Structure 1
């Protein structure tokens, strides 16, 4: 998580398991936890619906551009990694760092 937090523009990182429990986090203020867990739950519902409609078995990432700034959801084994960052212009840096973390 610390390597992701070193990426310019990164606000916070959150890793949750399939049950929705927090596995790890960095930079996350407690006030944002409920919001981010809600975003992950909504993202999982959208992903599930799209997978069902398209007949897909896997997904790569989901970008949500919300009021607090962009949030990228990425599968990380059986878990979901949420990365929140400052601006959509940082997306390339964030994607690169997430891929390096997932596929070292």
Structure 2
């Protein structure tokens, strides 16, 4: 019998471009005042803005609360670790 992988739930809620709640987070790869890079169940998520803060982080529950001025969100289908992730970082930091 063939095993199928069922994607886990991932939800992104943005309130007035000032706060955001993200579920389905598996890892926080980097964060600073202008950019947060999250690994989620649905791919990599990059949040860009100004004065960004990670207010609450629970990797056990897969939840992250973000505050600050949110300017943009971008998803990438790259998942997992290794060479594929290195290529993502090479593209992001050119």
One fold, TM greater than 0.5? Answer: no
- TM-score computed with the length of structure 1 as normaliser: 0.33
Q: Which one has the largest radius of gyration?
A: 2
Which structure shows the higher helix fraction?
1
Q: Which has the higher contact order (CA 8 A, sep 6+)?
A: 1
Which structure shows the higher strand fraction?
2
- TM-score computed with the length of structure 2 as normaliser: 0.35
